[in-house]
Amino acid sequence: MGQLTAKNAGIVKLGDITVNRLGLGTNRIADNNESRAALKRAVELGINFIDTAAKYGQSEMVIGQTLAPPRGLVAATKGGWSDDNDPASLQSQIDNSLELLRLRQLPLWLLHRIDPKVPIEQTMNFLKSQQAAGKIRHIGLSGVTIDQIEAARSAVDIVAVENHYNLMEREHDDVLEYCTREGIVFIPFFPLRSGSVTLNRRLQEMADKYQSSPIQIAIAWLLKRSPVMLPIPGTLSIEHLEANVAAASIKLEEDDYHYLLGY
Ligand SMILES: NC(=O)c1ccc[n+]([C@@H]2O[C@H](COP(=O)([O-])OP(=O)(O)OC[C@H]3O[C@@H](n4cnc5c(N)ncnc54)[C@H](OP(=O)(O)O)[C@@H]3O)[C@@H](O)[C@H]2O)c1
């Protein structure tokens, strides 16, 4: 095996920003040494896309403290939930994220959930004003359908979509196909099914064949599934982080990829 680096996963483009196609999920990051060590090791391993959110407790603060100034690093954050897409609330969440992440501009800000009480075009126009003010660079969406993505795109450019997706839970295959066709980065959340993707028998078989672990095969499978796929496995363990980065070097044979797809 060559060098242990996230570069082996290839790259994706978030508008004018290029990142390696294997990131880190941080919803369990807390204010402790274990979390700080995992963040530092991730950057050493070439991970330059870190997924966080206003909702993730101390995550933004710890990322800001540990990794600022964030040279070459995209700390993508999310705000807005299904009951608070009003502009005043979004504004305070964006301002808070800027402060906690110690950034002058958020490279990618994703709407965490659409609030059914607020028309999406209105929310997108508000985000456009945030772009004009220089507070956010690129806009993404999370937990959305194709119709919702299209409605948002009638007002702004959408560079990324973050939906629930892993080998065993593929209810958003239609959104993935759409993103692949349109060149929108697809960030699968719960890419390891919170660790339980290992229960899949076919993954176990492939792990034996490739002398790796079922988790590594699950990551390699996602990477092969689409060129716009940007997995963000979450871990606080350095050992698991290194194993996940090593998965970027596993090249699944076509037959094996389809065998898993047919699960
Ligand atoms: N947009 C949204 O609405 C949304 C919703 C949920 C999550 N997310 C994002 O998606 C990210 C990923 O989701 P997640 O972290 O909840 O779930 P996940 O990535 O599917 O799975 C994480 C679990 O897998 C374990 N794990 C990771 N690497 C491993 C390895 N090599 N070997 C064995 N176990 C391993 C972790 O435990 P260890 O710590 O022990 O490694 C943890 O228990 C989150 O961190 C968050 O950033 C977004």
| pLDDT tens for the chain, residues 1 to 263 | 589 999 999 999 999 999 999 999 999 999 999 999 999 999 999 999 999 999 999 999 999 999 987 778 999 999 999 999 999 999 999 999 999 999 999 999 999 999 999 999 999 999 999 999 999 999 999 999 999 999 999 999 999 999 999 999 999 999 999 999 999 999 999 999 998 988 899 999 999 999 999 999 999 999 999 999 999 999 999 999 999 999 999 999 999 999 999 87
Domain boundary assignment for the chain: 6-194+226-235
Among 195, 142, 136, which Cα is nearest to 167's? Answer: 195
Contact between 14 and 138 (Cβ < 8 Å):
yes
Q: Among 26, 27, 47, 198, name the best residue to mutate to test ligand 1's pocket (greatest count of ligand atoms within 8 A of Cβ).
A: 27
Which amino acids are annotated catalytic? Answer: 56
Q: What's the CA-to-centroid distance between 25 and ligand 1, angstroms?
A: 6
Which residues face 187 on adjacent strands? 162
Its sign, for the CA torsion 159, 163, 165, 170, is negative
**Ligand 1 site: residues with CB under 6 angstroms?**
25-27, 51, 112, 142-143, 162, 189-195, 215, 232-237, 240, 243-244
User: Selecting from 3.20.20.100, 3.40.50.300, 1.10.274.100, 3.40.630.30, what CATH number does the domain 6-194+226-235 have?
Assistant: 3.20.20.100
The pTM of the full predicted model, rounded to 2 decimals, is 0.98
Which pair of structure tokens corresponds to residue 130?
């945030």
